[in-house]
Structure 1
């Protein structure tokens, strides 16, 4: 499934997280991301801190436009992104949409 063609929908009211079978199916479309309990994550490595921050700012712009935000951890030239839908305490389609679009940055 091409999640880059989709737009996040509001999920502030909660709902049920995706079933494990759907999560596994969706992971196939974002091969560099890993499942970690109730979230997906990916680490990116850059030349230096400045390049890492340029990337983080692009991710921030994307997250704002989608209304769905990753947790971001920065260690000099490395950036880790964690995605999950807090209101559902698990994964939603929004997480896969944002992950797919981040991969295009």
Structure 2
């Protein structure tokens, strides 16, 4: 079981994450990819990273716009699992921005 982050911990984590917003219930980020295929490649890479971490985001795809939402449902809010996956999503999104 992962411990819920406090409001201060979530705020601190968000200040270190690129483009993420949220609160203790969930964090999210929207990424605009250069093309629809690039958006799908990003989603596939995030899916693989999420599977490796055994922690899965909610993903919404609208053409080139992809929104990722993270919350540890079993705990009822944001945990370190969410901020770790957010960092990984940032890395992957950064790599796709140059496509």
TM-score of the alignment, normalized to the shorter chain, above 0.5:
yes
RMSD over equivalenced CA pairs, Å: 1.4
Question: Is 1:64 equivalent to 2:41 in the alignment?
Answer: no
Runs of 4+ in 1 over 6 A off after TM superposition: none
The answer to which structure has the higher helix fraction is 2
- How far residue 27 of structure 1 moved from its aligned partner, in angstroms, is 1.3
- How far residue 16 of structure 1 moved from its aligned partner, in angstroms, is 4.6
* Gapped regions of structure 1 (runs ≥ 5): 1-10
Who is 2:15 aligned against?
28
Query: How far apart, CA to CA, are the structure 1 residues paired with 2:8 and 2:21?
Result: 15
Who is 1:102 aligned against?
89
- How far residue 36 of structure 1 moved from its aligned partner, in angstroms, is 5.0
Question: Is 1:51 equivalent to 2:38 in the alignment?
Answer: yes
Higher relative contact order (CA 8 A, sep 6+): 1
Q: Secondary structure in 2 aligned to 1:104?
A: helix
Residues 24-71 of structure 1, C-alpha deviation per residue, up to 9 Å, x if partnerless? 111122131001561100001012221110000000010001111100
